């Protein structure tokens, strides 16, 4: 039987949780076809932007697989269909604990309200996401709207507070002791998995250079992070000649989409992500660049597609280090994850 099954609603979330599990000693595979021989299988449902019924179907299909333990990774900014995914798990007969805190990343839930760096989630940059604006900072509001009122009332669904790592660990342990499926942030999932295993991992390999950094995230933090990089910066329509010359000289290159705060239609976002993905693989194939760093879940999904990755661990909080079957090193980062110097630190000091 599969030891640990983790689902997530987007690609960076899937890889983040995979990194947290690898840090605790699990052999982690990002895959579309988990099997009974996997130690830890992570599945990206790609459900953040689909309709609610489809999101419910996808999580239901995934969690019919036999596994000793299971979790679902939700967005730490409360975006997406996570409440409908909880409703689907409840409909399958599962009790659920919602743990939306991640203190190491500045997320906490206090008296049922989620704060991001001490600002209520709906008032933070997450609340102004061009594809997924928030209406509330309270998980219970989303759960009630998704049809979980009775489950909240009778305890089949519990929203768990946690302001500190000690409180996070205690909440995760309660989930396991009560036989609940944990639906939570990377921090919450990591705390739950820490009750199963804490063997640790060896040192990560060093980050091969040069690095192609691709930023499709519109989160202000990601844009601040890439603005601090001292390297050639281009858009998706840049001429390849200069980019390839820089990469072949061993210089890092940043490919960034245009920044906007306007609402973006799904079709437009998907078209841009496809363009960026095609450009990325063309430049990697032509230059031989050994490392790819991707910012933004939709961008990561478009670039990585259905490729299976082995997740080796985390190079920073919620920043996973992965390898493809053909040896490409891949590091991904969610849009609102990290600090302003996260990318500079990663590229200056490499992974070790």
Residue with tokens 């844009």: 223
DSSP string for residues in 240-269: HHHHHHHHHTT--EEEEPPP--S---HHHH
Q: What residues are paired with 310 via a beta bridge?
A: 29, 323
The CATH number of 211-349 is which of 3.40.980.20, 3.40.50.720, 3.40.50.360, 3.30.200.20? Answer: 3.40.980.20
Asked if 268 and 260 touch (Cβ cutoff 8 Å), the reply is: no
**Do the domains 2-193 and 211-349 sit in the same CATH topology, yes or no?**
no
Asked if 272 and 301 touch (Cβ cutoff 8 Å), the reply is: no
* pLDDT higher than 70, residue 125: yes
* pLDDT higher than 90, residue 261: no
pLDDT band at 60 (very low <50, low <70, confident <90, very high): very high
pLDDT at 350: 53
Cα–Cα dist 54/60, whole Å: 10
Mean pLDDT of the chain: 94
The domains of the chain are located at 2-193, 211-349
* pLDDT higher than 90, residue 220: yes
Q: What residue spans of the chain are helical by DSSP H? A: 11-23, 52-62, 82-91, 139-145, 149-154, 165-177, 186-193, 220-227, 240-248, 266-287, 297-304, 342-349
Q: Retrieve residue 29's tokens.
A: 């595979």
* pLDDT higher than 70, residue 145: yes
* pLDDT higher than 60, residue 329: yes
- For the beta sheet containing 107-110, the strands, ordered from the edge strand earlier in sequence to the opposite edge, are 107-110, 113-116, 119-120
Cα–Cα dist 42/62, whole Å: 10
pLDDT at 351: 42
pLDDT band at 352 (very low <50, low <70, confident <90, very high): very low
Rounded (10°) CA dihedral 91, 92, 97, 102: -100
At residue 104, the 3 state secondary structure works out as helix
Overall average pLDDT of the 168-196 stretch:
97
The 8 Å CB, 24+ separation contacts for 177-180 are 178/95, 178/97, 179/95, 180/94, 180/95, 180/96, 180/97
Residues 6+ apart with CB under 8 A from 340: 221, 224, 225, 228
Q: Retrieve residue 84's tokens.
A: 């409908």
Q: What is 2-193's CATH number?
A: 3.40.50.10840
What's phi and psi for 336, nearest 5 deg?
Answer: -100, 15
In this structure, the number of other CB atoms found within 10 A of the CB of residue 166 comes to: 10
Cα–Cα dist 15/19, whole Å: 6
Question: Which carries the bigger pLDDT value, residue 206 or residue 341?
Answer: 341
Q: Could you say which DSSP state residue 122 is in?
A: G
- pLDDT tens digits for range 69-117: 999 999 999 999 999 999 999 999 999 999 999 999 999 999 999 999 9
Percent of the chain predicted with pLDDT > 70: 98
pLDDT band at 202 (very low <50, low <70, confident <90, very high): confident
């Amino acid at each position: 039987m599969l030891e640990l099954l983790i689902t997530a609603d987007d690609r960076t979330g899937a890889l983040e949780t995979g990194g947290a599990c690898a840090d605790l000693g699990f052999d982690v595979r990002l895959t579309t076809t988990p099997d009974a021989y996997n130690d830890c299988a992570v599945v990206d449902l790609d459900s953040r932007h689909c309709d609610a019924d489809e999101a419910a179907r996808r999580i239901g299909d995934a969690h019919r697989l036999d596994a000793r333990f299971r979790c679902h990774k939700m967005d730490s900014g409360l975006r997406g269909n996570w409440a409908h995914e909880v409703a689907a798990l409840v409909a399958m007969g599962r009790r659920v604990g919602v743990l939306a805190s991640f203190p190491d990343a500045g997320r906490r839930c206090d008296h049922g309200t989620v704060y991001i760096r001490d600002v209520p989630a709906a008032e933070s940059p997450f609340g102004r996401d061009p594809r997924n604006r928030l209406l509330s900072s309270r998980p219970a509001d989303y759960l009630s709207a998704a049809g979980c009122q009775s489950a909240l009332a009778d305890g089949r669904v519990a929203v768990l507070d946690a302001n500190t790592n000690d409180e996070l660990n205690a909440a995760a342990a309660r989930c396991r002791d009560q036989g609940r499926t944990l639906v939570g942030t990377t921090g919450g999932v990591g705390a739950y998995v820490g009750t199963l295993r804490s063997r640790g991992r060896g040192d990560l390999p060093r980050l091969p250079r040069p690095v192609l950094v691709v930023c499709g995230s519109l989160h202000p933090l990601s844009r601040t992070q890439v603005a601090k990089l001292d390297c050639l910066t281009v858009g998706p329509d840049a001429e390849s000649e200069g980019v390839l010359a820089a990469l072949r000289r061993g210089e890092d290159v940043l490919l960034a989409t245009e920044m906007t705060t306007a609402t973006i239609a799904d079709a437009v976002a998907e078209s841009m992500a496809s363009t960026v993905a095609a450009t990325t693989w063309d430049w990697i194939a032509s230059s031989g660049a050994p490392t790819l760093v991707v910012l933004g879940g939709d961008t990561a999904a478009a670039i990585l597609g259905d490729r299976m990755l082995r997740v080796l661990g985390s190079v920073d909080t919620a920043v996973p280090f992965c390898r493809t079957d053909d040896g490409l090193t891949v590091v991904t980062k969610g849009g609102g994850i990290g600090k302003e110097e996260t990318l500079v630190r990663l590229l200056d000091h490499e992974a070790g």
